[in-house]
Structure formats: structure tokens, C-alpha cells
Amino acid sequence: MDYASSLLGLLPGARRTPGLRDLLANVATYLPPDQVERIREAAEFGATAHKGQKRLSGEPYIAHPVAAADILADLRLDADTIVAAILHDVIEDTPIAKGELAERFGPAVAEIVDGVTKLDQIKFKNREEAQAESFRKMLLAMVRDLRVILVKLADRTHNMRTIDAMAPVRRRAIARETLEIYAPIAERLGLYKLKLELEDLGFQAAHPQRYRVLERALRRARGNQKEFLGKIAAQLRTAFGKAGIEATVETREKHLYSIYRKMQRKRSTLADIIDVYGLRIIVGSVDTTYRALGVVHSVHKPMPGRFKDYIAIPRVNGYQSLHTTLFGPNGVPIEVQIRTTDMHVVAESGIAAHWKYKAGDMSVAERERTRQWLSNLVELQGEGSSEEFLESVKVDLFPDKVYVFTPKGEILRLPRGATVVDYAYAVHTGVGNRCVAAKVDRRLAPLRTVLRNGQTVEIITAKGAMPNPAWVNFVVSAKARSAIRQYLRGLRRSEAIELGSRLLNQALAEFKSSLEEVSPATMQAALGEHGMKDRDELYEKVGLGEQLAPLIARRLLPSMPEETPSGMPPPLAVAGTEGLLVTYARCCFPIPNDPIIAYLSAGRGIVVHREDCVNVEDYRKHPEKWLPVVWEANIERQFVSQIRVDVVNKLGVLAAVAASISTTETNIDHVSIEERDSELTVLMFEVRVRDRKHLAGLMRTVRRMPDVLRVNRTIAAHSPGKARS
């Protein structure tokens, strides 16, 4: 303390810098004098850089970064982190550049500050995109240096402490962001104290009235619980003494926000949430934790199904404890945590507990688990927009709830609600991409099966298999969703290139030419005119419908006459196996042997319709976007068609019609009841058929049933816009 006080005398105006005395006193308790001197210099540099700037509260701006640094000093972090916290707003809010920081305080400090800095210099469509892009940058900087997020969490914590100076609307928005993103990050990193404070301050700012009501009610409920909890703690201390176990027994009050969330989750009132207090027992070794558990259960009976062993299977953030719930007086449940002293330090300080001040001491199992999670962020940045990236990361921030085993007995942690496909991608992206089937506890299970704790999962892969676009609808982990989308984007591009070259060749065939006959100079000129770098980009744009093949064809053959040649271009052959860029309209369900025509939809490629579809009327408005198409010969795949079946309204008729359809070797994709009255029921079946002949045979079979009044093939009444959406 004396040393810190002497430093204050060296800094002009230091006594007028709010919080600096406390910060220097704090860091002087664990850092050597030369590092404390660096921090003093950083404070002087920051005060000069921010000179004249004020916070909304009216105090000098330097008070904020100094307070953020003091929060990190409480976690005993290294000098570079403290210096970066003091300077974390310098690049953003002052003319100081990153290079100047690196020269004055070292490259590590400059990188941390840059990772925290928002992207205010870049113009975005809206505030949400700017915020999401800033978050993306910060998280990716975390991968390189975890101290980036530690500084950001300290910055957010102090901002939440002083949030009352902000306007109510802004205050609520920041509070929601804190509860959705920053508090879960603090929990993921094991920074329990910061997590509790962020949740409490976020709850108070987002829902001030609910916070006040709940706080008053809890104050009234405290008296009785505190008294009987003290008696139970005394009983346990006596029992530990008799068993020869040295243990510290503490009472702990449940967090206000966690009580509020529990009330929401269980749809209950505060009167129903009776376990507001709990006990924490701290012992000397892992072996003693299990002995202590036996003593606790001998004093009070445990509640069945409420025991959790986070020592054998730690949480993803490194948290370890035994959790049990006891039957207290009058049946009141009492939650008990049992842990070692080291586990308690990790539980309170998380990743910071392992932040050694010598580089050689930084390899710790808990930090390695956190780094694995952070490294996944590199894969996630392939997600389309910054907003999508932010939403994907939110999914992975909340604590894992499902623990499953690999066939070799290794444990994998997955988010609650994770499916077999999530597991496959957690093993490896390549395993997920080639996944075709799975065994759960040695039995075959659907890929969308939701996994439960303790199950053993084995993935069956196949060479040449690829992700199904439908998987995106049920996976819950950000890694799985990102990997599926990335793969399909690559697949979509290759298909678009192939389709685009076919469409261009078709358009050039009108002029009795082909792509092979286009000279390199003409092709290069066309690419330059449209701002494209190569042929593949041109073909991709044509395949996606963003450029029209007839217009590009004219540009590739500039010597041709302006008039369109008479007659239609040669039709494009389709077989239903073209992939993502050729789709079949669900307004008319075209199948082989139907007369068909295709519409070029921007961003989607080709949408095939039946010629008698009501939406083909739009042909007259956009003739340049319609293409002649024909079916390839000998198509072997099946297509979806829809039939309407009018039946007598009687018990079991739906099952009877479905059974009749199955006798024709036809799969039913979907069935619905469109209309029903006392005498008539209208059934709509989506069925998979090979061609018109197959469909006609199916309809004849159904029509012969005694309770069937009529059978028709349907065309849904969609507008042209909906048909192509």
C-alpha cells in the first residue's frame, strides 16, 4: 500500500483520477514494482488521451477504463491485461493508433485493445449489423488471446454498474445484450462472480419493476430460512468432526436472477420457490469430497434423482463439485455443493484462476477445454452474415447439459436437445458430412434422434455421402449448422456453375454456336463488362438466375443481328437429379411425361412447372425468364405428386385409403384432411411416383374403393409470386 501511495505522488493530478489510488493499491499486492510502474504510466497516458472527454454521468472518462482495470486486478491478472483494460477505448475514442500503442506498451497490449475495439469506422446497414460484426471481431480475437474477452467483460461490468445515466430504451437494450451474451460468456469461462453480477445488474436494468418486487419479497422470506440453515450447518460441522474430516461449511443465498428464471421456467410464484438458500462445503482433497458426501447423507436424507457428480465429469468451463439436494426441516429442499479448495477457486474465478504470470505455466486442462470451444469460433465465422454468426454463438454459450459416450468410452459434451447429427459433427466435420446412419446404445436410430445423458452413440458413414439440407431444421449446435450450410453453399456453387454453362450453351445454340466457339478475347471482354473475374463466376450467376443466358449469349456473339431468331431455343433436358439448382414447383407437382416449362428464378436457379399450371400465365409478363425443358429418357428416381381423394366420412377410411395406396408400391410423404362435414371428407395425399403411368395406376386403384367418391390430381391455387418464392 505504501508503495502504491508513493507512485501516486509521481503522477500529476493522480489524486483527481477517480479509482486510480485503489487500482494501484490492488495491483501492488501481487505484481512486482516495475509492472506496477507500467500500469501507472498507462494510466497517465490514458488520462492524457481522454483529456476533456466525459461520461454521461459527468465524471472524467478515464474513470471508466481505470475501474474496468480494477475489476481485472481483483482476478489477479497480469500487467499486460491491466494495461490493456486502462487503454481499451484509446483506439476507438482518441486519435491514438494501434502502432503507437504497440511501440509504447508492447504488441500484446495493442492486440488486446484492437480486439476489444468496436468497428465504428465501417459503415453498416443498421446498428444491429454493426454490433454483430463487432462481436464477431472480438470473439475471433479471443481465439488468439483470451485476455480480449476478459477486458471486454470487465468493460461491460463497469458499464452495467453505471447504466443508470443512460436513457431507459438504451438501458434496456444493453441489459438484454448483457443477459443474452456477456453473462453466458462469463459462465462459459467459469467467471462465476462476474456472471452473477452481470445477471443481477442486467435483470435490474431490463426489468426494474420485477427486480424490486422480487427483492422485497426475498427480504421478507429470508429470516426463517437463515435460522434453520444455520442449525443444519452446525449439525454438519459436528458430524464432520466426529468423522475426522476437516471441512468449511458455508451458507449461500441463491442468486436473484436465477430465482426469477426458475419462476419463469416452472411457471410458479415466489412462494413455490422455497429453496432460496443452500450450503457449500469445502474440503482438502478429491477423496474427502466423496467421504463428506456420505456424512451429509447420513445427517439428512437426499432427494432421489438430484445428485450430480461434476468432479468425475466436469462442466465445459472446468467447474467441479458434487451437487446433492437434502430433505430439510418440513420437507424444504436444501441444495448442497461439495468441493475442494482448488475447485472453489476455479468455481469463483474460472479461467482467470489458471492465468499464470509465467508463460510456461499456462497449460491447464480447464483452459484447454475453453480453448477448444473458442477454436470452434474460427469455423463458425464461415456463417453467412454477422447476425447469423452472433445467433450461432449464442446457441453454444449456454452450459452443456447432455453427456454422451463414444464407442471407445470417451465423453462428449453437447448442448441440450442435441441430435445424432450434432454428435457426428462434434466428433469431426468430415464424420458429420458423410453420416448416413447411427446406432444409439447399439440400436439403429434416426439421425434426428435427440440424445439423452449416458447414451453411447456410434456414427455410420458412407463414402460419397453428403449433408441433407433438412438437417439444418433440427440440429441445435452452432458447429453442425455452420458446417452443413458451408458444405451446401459449396455444393450449390458447383451445381450453379454446371447449370449456368448448360443454359449458356442452350442460348448459344439458337445462333448455331456454343461456348467452345467463343474466343478468349470475347469472353474476357464480357467478363470485364459485367465485373466478373472468371468463367466460373459468369456461369454461377447465370445458373442462379442473376444473369439471363440469352443476354449473355448476345454479348458473347457481338456480330450477330439484334433481332431474336425465330423459333424456340432447343429445350433443356431435366431428370430430377440436378441437385439444389433445379427444383420442382409445389403448386403443380410436375412428374415425368408431364408437358413442362421452367422459370428462371433469381438466386434459386430453375423452377419447373407443368404447362397447365395456373402460374404459367405469368409467362406473358416475363417471357425472357421462361425456358423450354423436356424430361430425359429412362428416369429412375421418384417425384412428389399430389392427389385429392373425396371419401365417405366414416371411421377408419383414412387408414383404408393409405393401405390401398401402399399396395401400388407408393410411398406417402404427407397426408392432410382439407375438409370434413357429416357426410364427406376430403383427403390430400403427397405421394412419390415414377411418372404419369405410375400415378394413373395408383389413382385407378384408389378409385375402385367402395367409400371413395372421386380421385383427382391437384394443382394448388397459388399466385405466381408464391409459386416462385
* DSSP string across 539-591: HHHHHTTSS-HHHHHHHH-TTS-SSPPSSPPPPEEE-S-S-TTEEE-TTT---
Over pLDDT 70: what percentage of the chain? 79
CATH pick for 209-353 out of 3.20.20.140, 3.30.420.80, 3.30.460.10, 3.30.1440.10: 3.30.460.10
Choosing from 41, 59, 92, 646, the catalytic residue is 92
| 384-388: average pLDDT | 55
Choosing from 22, 93, 180, 536, the catalytic residue is 93
Cell of residue 168, nine digits: 431507459
What is the CATH class of 639-724?
Answer: alpha beta
DSSP 633: S
Report d(CA 366, CA 723) in Å as an integer: 53
The domain locations on the chain are: 2-208, 209-353, 486-631, 639-724
Report d(CA 208, CA 260) in Å as an integer: 13
How confident is the model over 354-368, as pLDDT tens digits? 444 333 343 455 555
* Secondary structure tally for the chain: helices H, strands E: 28, 19
**Element at 277 (helix H, strand E):** strand 277-283
Using the predicted structure, report yes or no on whether residue 689 has a pLDDT greater than 60.
Answer: yes
| Average pLDDT score over the chain | 79
Report d(CA 666, CA 685) in Å as an integer: 11
**Element at 303 (helix H, strand E):** none
- CA dist 9 to 15, 24, 51, 469, Å? 8, 12, 20, 66
Using the predicted structure, report yes or no on whether residue 151 has a pLDDT greater than 80.
Answer: yes
Give the amino acid at 424. Answer: A
Please state the pTM of the whole predicted model.
0.55
* The predicted structure's pLDDT at residue 579: 64
Cell of residue 714, nine digits: 391437384
Q: Specify the length of the chain in residues.
A: 725
Say whether 400 is catalytic. Answer: no
How confident is the model over 594-608, as pLDDT tens digits? 988 888 776 667 788
Cell of residue 127, nine digits: 446498428
Helix (H, G, I), strand (E, B) or coil at 185: helix
Report d(CA 422, CA 475) in Å as an integer: 6
Report d(CA 445, CA 435) in Å as an integer: 13
Say whether 93 is catalytic. Answer: yes
Architecture of domain 2-208: Orthogonal Bundle (1.10)
Report d(CA 267, CA 263) in Å as an integer: 5
* The predicted structure's pLDDT at residue 11: 45
DSSP 456: B
